[in-house]
Structure formats: structure tokens, C-alpha cells
Structure 1
Amino acid sequence: MTTIGIRELARSSAILEGHDYAQIEDKKTKQAKGLIVSNEYAEVVKKYIDKLVAKKHQQEVDEIMQFAGSCEIHSRFLNLTDREIREKIAQEKYGE
């Protein structure tokens, strides 16, 4: 894998010619900052990343949906707002 410094890339993008991809690295901290992909493979990489993001979102939705419908509302509370439900419970509890 070709590693290019941020400053090198800023000085000249001609460094990228002849490479399918290159890793961008902060030479001072030796920390990877990203990856540059040639235009030839850009669409393939974009589709792959879109699939990964969609899969991640679907997993999050699936985690939430496992709880959907797990609670049942008693028939006496149907079509009431949360405030009305609290008032009704208080009336039944304290007998107003």
C-alpha cells in the first residue's frame, strides 16, 4: 500500500498517478487519516460503503423493533393521551 503524507498531497496531486489507492497519513503523528481511491474504482468503493452503512442502519432498526409491540395497553386507556392516562390512574388510585 502506498502511504502519502498530507503535505505531500497538498503540494502535488501528481503523486497519486499510477496508484489505484493510497493511504493518507499524518507523517508527524504516524496516524492514518484516510484513503484515496482512483476514479476507476470510486463507484465500486462507494457501493460497498453504501451497503455497509445500510446494513448498520438495518441492525439498529432491528434492535429497536424487537421491543415494538412488546407492551399492551389496557382497553380503558385506549385513545387517551399520556396526560389523560396519568390523571385516570391518579383518580383510580386516590379516588377523586
Structure 2
Amino acid sequence: MTTTMSIRELMRNGNMVGEYDYIDIEDRKRKAYKGVFVSRKYADEVKAFLQRKIAEEKRKKIDSLMHFAGSMEGESGEMTAQEIRASKRKEYEDA
């Protein structure tokens, strides 16, 4: 079973948490969704899902950064950022 409660109702009726599989929490005054409480029965499954989701997001972020990290391919050597910009500018001007 599921239900929607306001934060105020949840504070007054804390014992209702055990009666539902999950409870959507909303701010009734602003009609804004605040979060969800999950039953102890499903807590491990939800945690595992969230861990997979977070790991996937981190992997995607790292993959997108690695695309740029490999773009220099060792061309910089011991050059400063200004020297690298100047050499790249020269390459594009010559081409």
C-alpha cells in the first residue's frame, strides 16, 4: 500500500510509516514533492538500486572527462599552458 502525506502529518502520525510500503512526502502548502519513505521490507532493494544508479552516473561523468583527458596524447611534455596554446595556435594557422 502507498499513500501521500504532508510533513506535518508524518510528524504527528509517525506510527503510520510501518503500515505502508512507501509514503510520498509532499509540502501541502506549496504542492511541492519532498521525497519518499520506504518500508523496511524494501529498503535493501532501494539501496542497491540507488548504488547502481549513482555508480552509473559517476562512470558516465568519468567517461566524458576521459574523452578530453586523452585529447592531448602526450603532446604537452614540459610546456606551460601558454606554450601549449601558442603551439596549437601555430598549428591551426599553418594549416
TM-score greater than 0.5 by the shorter chain: yes
**How much has 1:34 moved relative to structure 2?**
0.3
Q: Give 2:16's aligned residue.
A: 15
**Unpaired segments ≥5 residues, structure 1:** 90-96
Letter in 2 for 1:82: T
Q: 2:80 pairs with 64, 71, 82, which one?
A: 82
Q: Give 2:70's aligned residue.
A: 69
> SS at the partner of 1:49?
helix
> SS at the partner of 1:58?
helix
Q: Is 1:57 the counterpart of 2:55 in the alignment?
A: no
Alpha-carbon distance between aligned partners in 1 of 2:70 and 2:35, rounded to the nearest angstrom: 42
Equivalent residues, number: 82
Q: Is 1:43 the counterpart of 2:41 in the alignment?
A: no
Percent identity over paired residues: 35
Q: Deviations over 1:37-71 (max 9, x none)?
A: 01111111011011111101100101011122222
Q: Give 1:27's aligned residue.
A: 28
**How much has 1:81 moved relative to structure 2?**
5.7
Q: Give 2:5's aligned residue.
A: 4
Larger Rg: 1
**How much has 1:11 moved relative to structure 2?**
1.2
> SS at the partner of 2:51?
helix
Task: State TM-score, norm by structure 1.
Answer: 0.73
Task: State TM-score, norm by structure 2.
Answer: 0.74
Q: Give 1:94's aligned residue.
A: none
**Unpaired segments ≥5 residues, structure 2:** 87-95
